[in-house]
């Protein structure tokens, strides 16, 4: 097998070594998990039963055909019944379950994808058309599988260990959540940028990933061996034994370093000169609180609540459902503050796959704009968050604010939610703090408007960079322009930190810059005292803080802030690391 290397954008650290699992777009809607050895036959039976059920369904359809129905209709049903009985559908997917341990839905779709590819090559247009019939039959089986039968338990610790690396043209953040299974150890996509939400989810899953790989999904074959070097953004396909050995050694060294870091879990984050720093966690779902607690986070600085809304075919979670989830997070954090950001839907976080997006989604009806346009939905979320505040310390964070009237309307909606709950006798924290994301340059340039109305600020550097530099954070063709150290970006961040301090309100950074150890000292020097990041990054950042001396960093940082030369800034930031 030929070995080759692909270069892309590093988005998530570490090294992954595993087999390629090519993900076809059609396969995204079903759950993917590996079935434990002892459940394999039951999983095979689950698929067999679904096949029998569809047979019966087709028979009933045939019998119920009206007498005057066109003859083609009966013929179509016959063709579907024939397809269903063909070993390519009735047997091949069963083998996939037995040999690859895929769950039934995944096994069926894998087989359908392989068949579809073969059909694409057929020249006879009539036969080529039969691909659609096969897909329709598969859909019927999937419906039965997903509707009735209970999926079996996924593989547990120490069981079947086929480690897979997902290779796809693109994976949406919601789809990525389908792969929260220990068997998936890495992601490679053709498209995407450093701070696309797909990359962010990979970081939060603490899985090595590389995006912007251009042709990866066409060059890599199913089951190829792959190494992802997450730090370098390099993917090595079918590596030689020597290369594999070297990477295994690096992987072991990384694991050892990680173990060492774990010793810092209980150490307070204090700089050498005694300044305490608050380290918070970014989470997507309440389950992530376990990792936040494990890393010793002081609380949650960003709960991206939109992940509760995604991948549900546009079915919005009810107020009660949301309340249960927020409460779970609040209880899990055991009294530490949980900052729940209100729905930040839109752009690269659509509510569902099929949603038609605007021409310029990042500039469109997203986040608070969407919420204010859908007041009932917004009110339900605010009520749910407030109800959760009766169970611990909750803060509300509003994304994408730029206008005073948006702040005022948001606050009015919160007041309305509170008034309703009060009237209904439902408990909540009357003093719940409300903060603004500073992630649009206009906000950073109009800070008095914010500090006057808000209890705290949180800088969303991912969007702040996107909007300041006018580059789409998910477009890999402009990814090289995405520079957190651009002097304009640094000025906006510094201005926000200073304005917050002057007004006596807390300022955090919750964008990806907060978790980048290469930038920890710069941000400390700029006066930042609250960092919010993925739990996996927290201990490395803490280590950097423990080794930092603010008295020495501050004058150097002031010098950096006076510079407008990108190379000089980059050099000086590197120098900070050595201080
Ligand atoms: C940001 O923009 O920096 C941020 C934290 O929010 P998100 O990445 O979810 O847009
Ligand atoms: Mg943002």
Mutate-to-test residue for ligand 1 from 482, 510, 513, 515, highest number of ligand atoms within 8 A of CB: 510
User: 507-550: per-residue pLDDT in tens?
Assistant: 999 999 999 999 999 999 999 999 999 999 999 999 999 999 99
Output the six-digit token pair for 384: 């749910």
The yes-or-no verdict on residue 571 having pLDDT over 60 is: yes
The yes-or-no verdict on residue 47 having pLDDT over 70 is: yes
Q: Which ligand neighbours the alpha carbon of 462 most closely?
A: 1
The yes-or-no verdict on residue 381 having pLDDT over 90 is: yes
Q: What is the distance between the alpha carbons of residues 263 and 483, in angstroms, rounded to a whole number? A: 33
- Least confident stretch, 123-137, 152-166, 179-193: 152-166
288 lines ligand 1 (CB under 6 A): no
304 lines ligand 1 (CB under 6 A): yes
Share of the chain above pLDDT 90, in %: 65
511 lines ligand 1 (CB under 6 A): yes
- H runs (alpha helix) in 510-565: 517-525, 535-546, 550-562
| Phi, psi (degrees; rounded to nearest 5) at 342 | -70, 160
Q: How many CB atoms lie within 10 A of CB 225?
A: 16
Smallest CA separation from ligand 1 atom 9, residue: 304
User: 466-478: per-residue pLDDT in tens?
Assistant: 999 999 988 888 8
**Which value, to the nearest 10 degrees, does the dihedral of the CA atoms of residues 331, 335, 337, 338 take?**
0
The average pLDDT across 303-312 equals: 89
Q: What is the distance between the alpha carbons of residues 575 and 556, in angstroms, rounded to a whole number? A: 9
The average pLDDT across 316-328 equals: 97
Q: Which residues surround ligand 2, an ion (CB under 5 A)?
A: 439, 460, 463
Mutate-to-test residue for ligand 1 from 174, 492, 511, highest number of ligand atoms within 8 A of CB: 511
Q: How many CB atoms lie within 10 A of CB 478?
A: 15
280 lines ligand 1 (CB under 6 A): no
- Least confident stretch, 149-158, 286-295, 526-535: 149-158
Question: Which domains, and CATH codes, for the chain?
Answer: 4-28+157-260 (3.50.30.10), 37-153 (1.10.274.10), 273-576 (3.20.20.60)
284 lines ligand 1 (CB under 6 A): no
User: 112-138: per-residue pLDDT in tens?
Assistant: 888 888 887 877 776 776 777 787 788
In which band, very low, low, confident or very high, does the pLDDT at 153 lie, cut at 50, 70 and 90? very low
Smallest CA separation from ligand 1 atom 1, residue: 460
The question of whether 197 is a catalytic residue gets the answer: yes
* 549 burial level (CB within 10 Å; 0-12, 13-18, 19+): middle
User: 60-114: per-residue pLDDT in tens?
Assistant: 878 877 676 666 667 777 888 899 999 999 999 999 999 999 999 989 988 988 8
Q: What is the distance between the alpha carbons of residues 426 and 504, in angstroms, rounded to a whole number? A: 32
In which band, very low, low, confident or very high, does the pLDDT at 29 lie, cut at 50, 70 and 90? low
The yes-or-no verdict on residue 154 having pLDDT over 50 is: no
The average pLDDT across 135-163 equals: 60
- Closest listed residue to residue 139, CA positions, set 54, 197, 215, 196: 54
The average pLDDT across 143-160 equals: 50
Q: Which ligand neighbours the alpha carbon of 197 most closely?
A: 1
- DSSP, collapsed to helix, strand or coil, labels residue 6 as strand
Q: How many CB atoms lie within 10 A of CB 269?
A: 22
Query: What residues are designated binding site for phosphoenolpyruvate?
Result: 304, 341, 462-463, 473
Q: Among residues 21, 101, 197, 534, which one is catalytic?
A: 197
pTM, rounded to two decimals: 0.76
* pLDDT mean across residues, the chain: 89
Q: What is the distance between the alpha carbons of residues 54 and 77, in angstroms, rounded to a whole number? A: 11
In which band, very low, low, confident or very high, does the pLDDT at 57 lie, cut at 50, 70 and 90? confident
**Which value, to the nearest 10 degrees, does the dihedral of the CA atoms of residues 96, 99, 102, 107 take?**
0
User: 474-519: per-residue pLDDT in tens?
Assistant: 888 888 899 999 999 999 999 999 999 999 999 999 999 999 999 9
Residue 273's pLDDT is: 95
In which band, very low, low, confident or very high, does the pLDDT at 25 lie, cut at 50, 70 and 90? low
Distance 533 CA to ligand 1 centre (A): 11
- Closest listed residue to residue 268, CA positions, set 244, 296, 290: 296
Q: What is the distance between the alpha carbons of residues 390 and 95, in angstroms, rounded to a whole number? A: 52
């Amino acid at each position: 097998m030929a070995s080759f290397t692909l270069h892309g954008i590093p988005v998530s650290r570490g090294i992954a070594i595993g087999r390629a699992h090519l993900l076809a777009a059609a396969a995204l809607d079903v759950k993917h998990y590996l079935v434990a050895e002892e459940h394999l036959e039951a999983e095979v039976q689950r698929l067999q039963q679904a096949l029998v059920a569809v047979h019966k369904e087709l028979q009933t359809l045939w019998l119920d055909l009206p007498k005057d129905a066109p003859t083609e209709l009966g013929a179509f049903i016959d063709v579907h019944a024939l397809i269903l009985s063909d070993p390519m559908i009735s047997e091949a997917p069963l083998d996939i379950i037995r040999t690859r341990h895929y769950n039934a839905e995944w096994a069926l779709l894998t087989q359908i994808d392989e068949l579809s590819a073969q059909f694409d090559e057929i020249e006879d247009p009539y036969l080529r058309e039969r691909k659609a019939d096969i897909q329709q039959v598969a859909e019927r089986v999937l419906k039965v599988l997903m509707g009735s039968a209970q999926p079996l338990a996924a593989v547990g610790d120490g069981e079947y260990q086929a480690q897979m690396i997902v290779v796809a043209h693109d994976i949406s953040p919601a789809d990525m959540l389908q792969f929260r299974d220990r068997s998936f150890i890495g992601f490679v996509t053709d498209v995407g940028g450093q701070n696309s939400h797909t990359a962010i989810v990979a970081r939060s899953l603490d899985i090595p990933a590389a995006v912007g790989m251009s042709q990866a999904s066409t060059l890599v074959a199913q089951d190829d061996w792959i190494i992802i070097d997450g730090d370098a953004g390099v993917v090595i396909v079918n590596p030689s034994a020597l290369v594999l050995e070297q990477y295994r050694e690096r992987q072991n060294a990384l694991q050892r370093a990680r173990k060492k870091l774990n010793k810092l879990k209980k150490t307070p984050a204090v700089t050498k000169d005694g300044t305490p720093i608050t380290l918070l966690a970014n989470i997507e779902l309440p389950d992530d609180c376990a990792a936040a607690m494990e890393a010793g986070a002081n609380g949650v600085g960003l709960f991206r609540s939109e992940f509760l809304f995604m991948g549900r075919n546009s079915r919005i979670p009810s107020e009660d459902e949301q309340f249960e989830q927020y409460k779970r997070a609040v209880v899990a954090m055991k009294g530490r503050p949980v900052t729940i950001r209100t729905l930040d839907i839109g752009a690269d976080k659509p509510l569902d796959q099929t949603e038609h997006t605007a021409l310029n989604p990042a500039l469109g009806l997203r986040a608070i704009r969407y919420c204010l346009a859908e007041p009932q939905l917004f009110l339900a979320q605010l009520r749910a968050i407030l109800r959760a505040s009766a169970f611990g310390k909750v803060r509300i964070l509003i994304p994408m604010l730029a206008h005073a009237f948006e702040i005022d309307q948001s606050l009015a909606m919160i007041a309305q939610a509170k008034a309703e709950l009060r009237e209904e006798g439902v408990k909540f924290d009357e003093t719940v703090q409300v903060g603004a994301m500073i992630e649009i340059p206009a906000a950073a340039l109009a800070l008095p408007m914010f500090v006057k109305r808000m209890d705290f600020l949180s800088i969303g550097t991912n969007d702040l960079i996107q909007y300041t530099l006018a580059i789409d954070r998910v477009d890999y063709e402009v990814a090289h322009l995405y520079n957190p150290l651009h002097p304009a970006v640094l000025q906006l961040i510094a201005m926000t930190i200073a304005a917050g301090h002057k007004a006596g309100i807390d300022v955090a950074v919750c964008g990806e810059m907060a978790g980048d150890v290469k930038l920890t000292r710069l941000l400390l020097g700029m006066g930042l005292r609250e960092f919010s990041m993925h739990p996996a990054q927290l201990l490395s950042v803490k280590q950097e803080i423990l080794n930092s001396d603010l008295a020495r960093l501050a004058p150097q940082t002031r010098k950096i802030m006076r510079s407008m030369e990108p190379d000089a800034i980059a050099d000086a930031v590197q120098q900070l690391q050595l201080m």
